[in-house]
Amino acid sequence: MNLYAFNDKNDLIHISEVEKKHKEKYFCCSCSDEMIAKKGDIKADHFAHKPDAVCNCESYLHKVSKIKFYKEYNFCLKNKTPFYIEYKTRVFCDSCQKIEKLNLSCKNVFIKPYDITKRFDKISMEKSYKGFKADILLESSLHPDEKIFIEFAVTHKCEIEKLNSKIRIIEIDLVNEKNLKFISNRKIPINKDYTDKEKIQDSIALDFFGDNITGNSSPKIIQLHNTK
């Protein structure tokens, strides 16, 4: 079931934004066929293709993820609103070791956010760089050599050539639209503990857990490639 479609103004619309007595026309993000907004009391609300339509679910989810990220990140840039990468960092305290007969140290884990809009103030969709096309390309006006590829993987992962390009890549696995909640939250949460002194090495797989995601939208994987 598709939760997103284009309206006749080519805006990406979630089914929750559609009124029951709607008059607009809606179109598939993938195949561009006209869709029917289903707003009933029995089945979950969704956009449906007409019976004779042929559409690729993978292409739909891949396209929606790019459009939704591009739209949300642009909003953050224009309104000076943060878009975070969040990760866990460990902080050690050895104050108790200085007390006589106590040789204790404490470890606390904090969520540390990094607002990527402060560094990467330009965004493009499906733009090429060094011969590779990015789903989303983030760039820095002050540091032109700094780029980040945001790649969305439904069934097809990044090709080896792209991973070996030394371009910074954040690759996010997707199963359905529920996995896109992190975009609306404007946070990419990475559940990996490491100290500030440690660096994320190339191609480390980091667990990504969405909020209260269960069933078919189980925890996905974010891959960081060529990061320092």
For the stretch 116-174, pLDDT in tens is 999 999 999 999 999 999 999 999 999 998 898 999 988 888 888 988 888 888 888 88
Cα Rg, the chain, nearest whole Å: 21
pTM equals: 0.74
Question: At 54, phi and psi to the nearest 5?
Answer: -125, 120
pLDDT of residue 133: 94
pLDDT score for 97? 57
pLDDT at res. 41 = 78
| Block residue for tokens 């760039």 | 139
The SS3 call for residue 116 is helix
| pLDDT score for 213 | 27
The token pair at 184 is 């609306």
SS3 label, residue 185: helix
CA distance 29 to 2: 9
Q: CA 185, 187, 192, 197 torsion: positive or negative?
A: negative
Q: Which residues contact 107 (CB under 8 A, 6 or more apart)?
A: 90, 91, 92, 93
Distance CA 172, CA 83 (A): 16
Would you state the pLDDT for residue 177? 87
pLDDT at site 77: 97
Residues of the chain with confidence (pLDDT) below 70: 88-109, 191-228
Closest CA to 207 of 219, 218, 194: 219
Alpha helices of 6-159 — where are they, by DSSP H? Answer: 57-79
**CA dist 26 to 2, 19, 155, Å?**
12, 13, 26
* Alpha helices for the chain (secondary structure H): 57-79, 160-163, 181-185
> How many C-beta atoms surround the C-beta of residue 89 within 10 A?
16
